[in-house]
Amino acid sequence: MGERYRLSKRGGQNRSLTICANVQAALRQRRLFFAFQPVVCAASGRIDYFECLLRMRNVEGSIATGGEFITAIEQLGRISFIDDYVLEQTVNELANYPGVRLGLNVSSLTAREGAWLKSLISLAHHRPGLVARMVVEITETAALSDIDETARFVRALRKVGCQVAIDDFGAGHTSFRHLHTLAVDIVKIDGSFVRDLATSPEKRLLLRYLLGAINDLGMMTVAEGVENADDEAVVRAEGCGYLQGYHLGPPTTERAWLRATSANTAAVDRVTPFSGDINPRWC
């Protein structure tokens, strides 16, 4: 039993090392890129910001989502090179497109190491306008790994002008006391609370409770995983501030904000008939 466990563990580590090597090669060969997904104001339909989601083009041409390789690299403790790349590319996008706000994800390991934050503080000193258009997203599980350290990280981000979001809220075991300690700007409610919402009175009651408690803390709310019109209608009726999901707009490599600019109009196409314009601040 013990030998089989050790072999299995060694095999898992070898797979993670292979994945890490493949991603490092993709970075060198410029096969990493962003897909952008809109976060939409429920009240106005305006796009507040786009989340930058990492993708990798494999050698044979297929596309891997971040979820297919990031966890393995995190387990090896080598995630910092990805977080550095994501920050660098986000800064480039913000510099190239002054009218857009972008969200990026950072791992708990990188947050604790300090070098990433120093880079961001330096950026804020030299280009404060860029940082003000940035939303840094931290997963709930990452925040829970060290609440006090995460709270210090959040305070430092907000001090330089970033907005901070807790991602996948409800997937872990964060209490509202923890949420109060973290003092983030935005709480992104995990899609498991949103899927099939229209057909589940129990889920609707739970969502109502979550929204009420988060709003009482003075934080904005984003419903993740909004995949159809029925669930969107319930989330909007319950008073969630912002929406994200394939029904509002799938992740795409296209920079949707350019369509609005090139057409000299505020309209931005969405998957649903309900369209909006880019809003540089909260709606």
The angle subtended at Cα 212 by Cα 209 and Cα 214, nearest 5°, is 105
Q: What pLDDT score was predicted for residue 201?
A: 94
Both tokens assigned to 146: 């060290």
Mean pLDDT (whole number) for 100-108: 94
Q: What pLDDT score was predicted for residue 174?
A: 65
Burial letters 131-165, b for 16+ CB under 10 A, else e:
bbbbbbbbbbebbbeebeebbebbebbeebebbbb
Largest CA distance in the chain: 67
**Proportion of the chain above pLDDT 90, given as a percent:** 69
Q: What pLDDT score was predicted for residue 2?
A: 54
Pairwise CA distance, residues 157 & 182, whole Å: 12
| 24: pLDDT strictly greater than 90 | yes
What Rg value do the Cα atoms of the chain yield, rounded? 19
Q: Which residue has the tokens 């369509």?
A: 259
Both tokens assigned to 71: 């966890």
Pairwise CA distance, residues 155 & 181, whole Å: 10
Q: What pLDDT score was predicted for residue 30?
A: 96
| 271: pLDDT strictly greater than 90 | no
Q: Which helix (H) or strand (E) holds 168?
A: strand 163-169
The whole-chain average pLDDT of the chain stands at 86
- Tens of pLDDT, residue by residue over 112-167, are 788 999 999 999 989 989 999 999 999 877 777 788 888 999 999 999 999 999 99
Task: Answer whether 55's CB lies under 8 Å from 30's CB.
Answer: no
| 99: pLDDT strictly greater than 70 | yes
Q: What pLDDT score was predicted for residue 114?
A: 87
- The sign one gets for the Cα dihedral 94, 220, 137, 43 is negative
2-262: what CATH class? alpha beta
Mean pLDDT (whole number) for 16-24: 95
Enumerate the domain spans of the chain. Answer: 2-262
The band of 265, judged by pLDDT with boundaries at 50, 70 and 90, is: very low
- Tens of pLDDT, residue by residue over 174-211, are 678 888 899 999 999 999 999 999 999 999 999 999 99
**Number of H-type helices and E-type strands within the chain:** 12, 9
